[in-house]
Structure 1
Amino acid sequence: MAQLENATPTIYEVKKSTHRVKQNDLDENIEDPIDSEEIFDLLSDINDPEHPYTLAQLNVVQEELITVEKSERETVIDVKFTPTIPHCSMATLIGLAIRVKLQRSLHPTVKLLVSITPGAHDSELTINRQLADKERVAAAMENPGLMQAVNQCLRAPE
């Protein structure tokens, strides 16, 4: 078995969602605005690629690091994530899993920004450039091995 980069990560209690379904949420004729809590709920159950925990349990994704800006022209969702260690080799895979989950869950017109929390990783600028490059992300999504790893992160808990 391979040596884990972070053999003993800190596990955090994940706060329960306070999002309540309202009657208007079920009416398809009424637009339901997206908020940071809803995005956090989407991302919180993504599995860590190295540990049997979710990104929320490891505090890699946090509601406080998600912003949603809506204007007349566009909706922009900005997700910052924090790897558990500053030299995490899985940071690009985690960022890709976040981006793929959002792409699969949201309308294609929503603009997505996925990046590492400033100062949280030794290679944050390089990884952020990769995650922001639509062509590189598209190419990564065509790589069967990489998509298998992403899908493993996105599979529902058993």
Structure 2
Amino acid sequence: MVSGLINANPIIYEKKERRARPTPTFTDDGAAEPIDQQEIFDHIRDIKDPEHPYSLEELKVINEDAIEVDDQHSYVRVTFTPTVEHCSMATVIGLCLRVKLMRSLPSRYKVDIIVAPGSHSTEAAVNKQLNDKERVAAALENPNLLDMVDECLAPSFG
């Protein structure tokens, strides 16, 4: 199976130490404290790569610095970098990021998922697919693709 991988031997990086997060506090009107870059990173750091037994953090596909949060305007943008320019799983990785954040964040947030500029040969097409509601909805109706996404989002106990 390894021979069919586009990047059979990716570089593996050390995971960052998890920082303690305080229990969310609520304001008088019941609103939670603002969501920040670290919180978004904590939600997505353990997503597994679709082709390798490593997390997106370990492969440096995502990192905390590539996350933008504007809590006041309910906006989050995650920029990810595939391990190779011709990664055939870039759209699946982006879909995993989107689904994880859809399941984790309050519905008021608009989330954009983009490929880092210059990091993928079909960057514009991938970005268009990942940020089009109808395309995302259609992709999530495909049972095989949804199974792949759920597998990438499943907690690892290793």
Q: Which residue of 2 aligns with 1:127?
A: 126
**Per the alignment, in what secondary structure is the counterpart of residue 58 of structure 2?**
coil
Greater shift after overlay, 1-10 or 39-48? 1-10
Distance across 2 between alignment mates of 1:43 and 1:31 = 20
Preserved contact between residue 94 and residue 130 of structure 2 (Cα < 8 Å): yes
Indicate yes or no: 2:86 matched with 1:84: no
Report the CA distance between 1:150 and its aligned residue: 0.5
Counterpart amino acid of 2:48? N
Deviation for aligned residue 1:30: 4.8
Identify the residue that residue 38 of structure 1 maps to in structure 2.
Answer: 39
Pairs aligned (count) = 154
Cα pair 1:49 1:149 within 8 Å, conserved: yes
CA contact (8 A) 2:37 2:68 kept: yes
Maintained 8 Å contact 2:25/2:32: no
Q: What is the CA deviation profile of residues 42-89 of structure 1, one whole-angstrom value per residue up to 9, with x for unaligned ones? A: 000000000000000000011000000133xx3100000000000000
Residue 14 of structure 2 corresponds to 13
1:9-34 Cα deviation digits (max 9, x unpaired): 01111111224314xx1548352211
Return the alpha-carbon distance in structure 2 between the equivalents of residues 9 and 136 of structure 1.
29
- 1:19·1:37 contact (CA, 8 Å) conserved in 2? no
| Partner residue, 1:101 | 100
SS in 2 for 1:89: coil
The residue type equivalent to 2:50 in the other structure is P
Partner Cα distance (2:32, 2:54) in 1:
34
Q: Give the match's secondary structure for 2:76.
A: strand
1:39-78 counterparts in 2 under 5 A?
39-71=40-72, 74-78=73-77
Letter in 2 for 1:111: K
SS in 2 for 1:64: helix
The aligned amino acid for 1:150 is V
Percent of aligned pairs sharing the same letter: 49
* Structure 1 residues 134-145: aligned runs within 5 Å: 134-145=133-144
Which AA in structure 2 matches 1:59? Answer: K
**Which has a greater percent of strand?**
1
CA RMSD of aligned residues (A): 1.4
CA distance in 2, matches of 1:131, 1:16: 30
Secondary structure at 2:57 match in 1: coil
SS of the residue aligned with 1:114?
strand
List per-residue Cα deviations over 1:106-150 (Å, max 9, x = no partner): 111100000101011001100000011100001111111110010
Unaligned runs of 5+ in 2: none
